[in-house]
Amino acid sequence: MKAPLHPVACLALALAACSPDVPASDRSSSAAGEPAGAVSPQDQQADTARPVPAPRFTRLVERTVIGLMEHGPEDWFGQIRAIAVDRLGRLYVADTYTTDVRVFDSPGAYVRTLGRRGQGPGEFIWPSGLIWQDDSTLWVLDNSGNHRYSAYDTSGAHIKDRRRLPLGAELYYWHARFDGKMLTESWVRAGGRSRLVAIDPEAPFGSPEVPLGAPQDTFPYPLAGVPLDEWGPMVYVRSGTTVRARKVPFTEGFEWILDGRGAVWVGDTRTGRLVRRSLVGDTLLVITHEIAGAPVSDEERRAAIEALGPYASELDRSRIPDRKPVFRMIVPSEDGGVLLVREGEGPAWFVDMLDADGQMVGSAELPVEPDLKVFPVVRGSDFWVVTRGALDVQFVVRFSMQ
């Protein structure tokens, strides 16, 4: 099934301007552009000598680009909300504009499309999350429409649909992972109370054993107790009874992710402090990523204020910091560690990898600007990231970490 053409992509085709701005041959990198800084462990074993691991990578080398106009309409994306990669290196892209999930092989060739718009079995209204269960079943979150999960096997066959717990609101990112048959995910009840919940998608929701909406277990929300404004200072605009908000430019607060070993990483992007906790809240590791945020230039400050549009008039410009956050995203790796995406001076971006013990095991310049609304994926020695090209059209790049 071919994806419908995005109107922006059609315009780009007419202008022949939808390809990435940087030639593929120029999008390799090394860590030479900026020092990665040190990582200071502060856990209970910090006084025990531990060998410093050899770097796993010092540069990112481009391998695949998916989303170029010359590859055909199956490669054109409207609004990517999530990506996932299977054990064979195939890429899965959830697009809420075309309401489907498209599959590409490791070299970047289109393979197949999962689902289509609708409310029937395996169909979507808003496919906004992807997660693997045991590398054999892909679960697709369809929250803002069908309010369910849809499962597919690795051949692309639809297996089943399962109703989702009712939410009072939707987090932009779907924080979730599977541990065997149990799915742990972020859950927001009406009124804004957030928790992590463990559910069994196979359980018969509504049965006497599992009442509708009842999780099998609950855990504290990773940011519980953090004042809302510390999640990231905001600018508010009121229109009647409606209040809308945007973050103050270059201010962040806290980021968090579920890792692949049953723990939670919480990071303060202002200080570089990272805490690894168990689901029940026990602290396992505390480290500090000792690097200062890059300075904010006058040009970047002006552009950020202009980008706020109607919110700019309500902005106290003294709240814009002189430096950028230490990092912008936390990405889980397969071994329980994390990869930090950080912004350098000017247009430069970098990635730093920490293992499950908090040791720095790799750092390199990222040759493209990441789309911060879509989580990158680390799988083996490959790093997949969504970026934007001409006319703001999204595409996906696979880098090899060398």
Residue 152 corresponds to which tokens in the numbers above?
Answer: 């597919």
- The pLDDT assigned to 51 comes to 63
**Residue 113 is which amino acid?**
T
DSSP class of residue 72 equals -
Distances (CA, A) of 381 to 59, 135, 233, 332, 377: 11, 17, 36, 13, 11
Give residue 251's pLDDT band: very low, low, confident or very high (50, 70, 90). confident
Over range 271-299, report the average pLDDT: 92
pLDDT tens by residue, 177-225: 888 778 888 876 655 567 888 888 777 654 555 555 567 788 888 887 7
- Residue partners of 29: CB distance under 8 A and separation at least 6: 59, 60, 61, 364, 365, 366, 367
Separation CA 186–CA 106 (nearest Å): 30
**pLDDT top residue among 122 and 207:** 122
Inter-residue contact 36 to 351 (CB < 8 Å): no
pLDDT at 40 over 80: no
Distances (CA, A) of 13 to 73, 392, 393: 10, 13, 12
Give residue 121's pLDDT band: very low, low, confident or very high (50, 70, 90). very high
- The pLDDT assigned to 33 comes to 42
pLDDT tens by residue, 43-74: 444 444 456 667 889 999 999 999 987 778 88
Give residue 233's pLDDT band: very low, low, confident or very high (50, 70, 90). confident
The overall average pLDDT reported for the chain is 82
Percent of residues, the chain, with pLDDT higher than 70: 79
pLDDT at 1 over 50: no
DSSP class of residue 397 equals E
Which DSSP helix (H) or strand (E) runs through 340?
A: strand 338-343
Residue 50 corresponds to which tokens in the numbers above?
Answer: 């531990």
Torsional class of 138: left (φ above 0), alpha (ψ -120 to 50), beta (otherwise): beta
pLDDT at 7 over 50: no
Please count the helices (runs of H) and the strands (runs of E) in the chain.
Answer: 2, 27
**pLDDT top residue among 256 and 223:** 256
> For residue 352, which of 40, 27, 35 has the smallest C-alpha distance?
35
> For residue 20, which of 368, 378, 400 has the smallest C-alpha distance?
368
- Residue partners of 99: CB distance under 8 A and separation at least 6: 115, 116, 117, 124, 125, 126, 127
pLDDT at 314 over 70: yes
Q: Where are the domains of the chain?
A: 7-401
Distances (CA, A) of 379 to 64, 144, 398: 14, 28, 10
Least confident segment among 35-49, 114-128, 311-325, 338-352: 35-49
CB atoms within 10 A of CB 199: 23
- The pLDDT assigned to 143 comes to 80
Separation CA 269–CA 365 (nearest Å): 19
- The pLDDT assigned to 11 comes to 32
pLDDT at 109 over 80: yes
Percent of residues, the chain, with pLDDT higher than 90: 50
Question: Any idea which fold 7-401 has?
Answer: Neuraminidase (2.120.10)
Over range 329-353, report the average pLDDT: 93
Across-strand partners of 35? none
Separation CA 149–CA 243 (nearest Å): 31
pLDDT at 39 over 70: no
Inter-residue contact 341 to 361 (CB < 8 Å): no
Highest mean pLDDT among 143-152, 230-239, 270-279: 270-279
pLDDT at 138 over 50: yes
pLDDT tens by residue, 15-34: 333 444 444 445 666 554 44
- Residue partners of 30: CB distance under 8 A and separation at least 6: 58, 59, 364, 365
Separation CA 240–CA 243 (nearest Å): 8
Strands 349-354, 360-366: pairing kind? antiparallel
Q: Say if pTM beats, i.e. exceeds, 0.75.
A: yes
